[in-house]
Amino acid sequence: MTYQENYQKWLAVTNLPDYLREELVAMDEKTKEDAFYTNLEFGTAGMRGYIGAGTNRINIYVVRQATEGLAKLIESKGEEAKKRGVAIAYDSRHFSPEFAQDAASVLAQHGIKAYVFESLRPTPELSFAVRHLNAFAGIMITASHNPAPFNGYKVYGEDGGQMPPADADALTDFIRAIEDPFAIAVADFDAAKAEGLVEILGEAVDAEYLKEVKEVNINPELISQYGKDMKIVYTPLHGTGEMLTRRALAQAGFESVEVVEAQAMPDPNFSTVKSPNPESQAAFALAEDLGRQVEADVLVATDPDADRLGVEIRQADGSYRNLSGNQIGAILAKYILEAHKQAGSLPTNAALAKSIVSTELVTKIAESYGATMFNVLTGFKFIAEKIQEFEEKHNHTYMFGFEESFGYLIKPFVRDKDAIQAVLLVAEIAAYYRSQGLTLADGIDQIYQEYGYFAEKTISIELSGVDGAAQIKAIMAKFREQAPSQFNQTAITLFEDFAKQTATNQEGQVTELSTPPSDVLKYTLADDSWFAVRPSGTEPKIKFYIATVGESLTEAEQKIAAIEQEINEFVN
């Protein structure tokens, strides 16, 4: 069906809500094409897109279609799966409560129990709730750290992790088999509540989550001595983090916490920031202002659904240093392993997990403590799968998992990124260095001195619409088929094609990769530098990851600049 035919099909719907009809009528031809040329697809973490009318937008009909597909999947698993039901949470974005209620109503129409939070809650709490309630699945309405015009829909499996590929593929098949999203039957929400098919969740689940969070901190005595009056500034960036993070910090014993009140209230427009992304230093502007006023040791920010954490640390001159996702991963990994070693509680089969595009610095740290590092594909569900494997086989003890995109998980009572857990441990680490008369900035420098100067950079290029999708495919094809034999005058010693599941060394010998197929290309150079390229699974972007090692940070960063320039020349 052409985009014009799809558009006309929507325009012909008689009971279309007024706000969607008005948007359809106002569309110019380019907008029509982008809104209707394809369907919003499930990627590494569900689906995410612009809010609005169209098959390539997120709206009540797309949400209903996705949930109808999930209902069909659950029905295929039998009556027990239907009774176990689905936990549903949502963030502070436009239409998030409406999408959550619609999802519950579609499930109720199928006689499937839905547990819906009374108000916005973080993604990690949704993951916890799936496990706590023994639900069959979970739905999180969120667009993570994207700007205000976006929303999204993530599906979780019974282990609390994002739905793994096999089930996600089956779900996609069920969704695609639905010919008319406008004909999907929706139960009355209040009637479903009265029948017990919808149950509202609130403080009881919050309390259970916070009970588990108590176990995240490793050294309570350290917090009591050095963390109690340590000044911390926290901003939830208008999102769900405010629901639990302040309580979690107080519960752990951090009493001198200042919250950026202008960003504490939920706001779907994220009116104080250009983008509510804790990866960006711009999102810390108000936190830095408050930090300077109170002379805070550390600034922490969570994204709107509180699964990603950004950190800034106070330097000797009083300015704040923005940490990369890899640097945060390094200080967390180092502290977890060192603290357990000192306490005599480091298991002999300790294991960590990270994505293939995250820093090898953490691999070096893990190896220095006799721990094993597992590299997985991008998408936290693959880390969740590793945790499940460790628990079933009893072969390793999970210690920590992370992705360079500011996602961390310390304790596996959650099976997705958990910024609330990460906030607590970053605060403890700051107290640890404070006990030595040092700062977190000193801690980062110590890690570099011990393990080498690692530098990383992620470049995201947005290429939206039909033309953008074609450009992304062309760039991937060019790298796959015509990549040079060297970058920065350094030979490529290993080429990994994760779509073909092959690794080719400098001599042309080919071995098989053990990861599932994924459209990722990774090139390792003779000096242990590497770069990778992949299309985003949830956004119209292509991403380049560059990582280098040097005798100094300056040298490592110079290597990054040279490789980045050569990538730009190759692409253009």
Stated as kind and residue range, the H or E segment containing 90 is strand 86-90
Query: Which residues are CB-neighbours of 515 under 8 A, at least 6 positions away?
Result: 356, 375, 376, 377, 382, 498, 501
H/E/C letters for each residue in 129-188? Answer: HHHHCCCCEEEEECCCCCCCCEEEEEEECCCCCECCHHHHHHHHHHHHCCCCHHHCCCCC
A 10 A CB-CB count for 25 gives 9
Buried b (16+ CB within 10 A) or exposed e, 162-192: bbbbebbeebbebbeeeeebeebebbebeeb
| SS3 label, residue 21 | helix
- Could you tell me the two tokens for 330? 């390094």
User: How far is Cα 239 from Cα 245, in angstroms, rounded to an integer?
Assistant: 11
Query: DSSP letters of 333-393?
Result: HHHHHHHHHHHT---TTEEEEEETTS-THHHHHHHHTTPEEEEE-SSHHHHHHHHHHHHHH
Asked if residue 205 lies in contact with residue 414, where contact means CB atoms within 8 angstroms, the answer is no
How far apart, in Å, are the Cα atoms of 301 and each of 213, 297, 439, 444, 479? 18, 14, 19, 19, 36
Query: Which residues are CB-neighbours of 334 under 8 A, at least 6 positions away?
Result: 365, 443, 447
A 10 A CB-CB count for 103 gives 27
The DSSP bridge partners found for residue 535 are: 542
Q: Of the listed 105, 127, 144, 405, which one is catalytic? A: 144
| SS3 label, residue 333 | helix
Longest dimension (CA), the chain: 69
- Active-site residue flag, 144: yes
Query: Which residues are CB-neighbours of 435 under 8 A, at least 6 positions away?
Result: 222, 225, 226
Query: Which residues are CB-neighbours of 192 under 8 A, at least 6 positions away?
Result: 104, 105, 108, 114, 198
The DSSP bridge partners found for residue 114 are: 86, 198
Query: DSSP letters of 296-326?
Result: -SEEEEE-TTS-BEEEEEE-TTS-EEEPPHH
Catalytic residues: 144
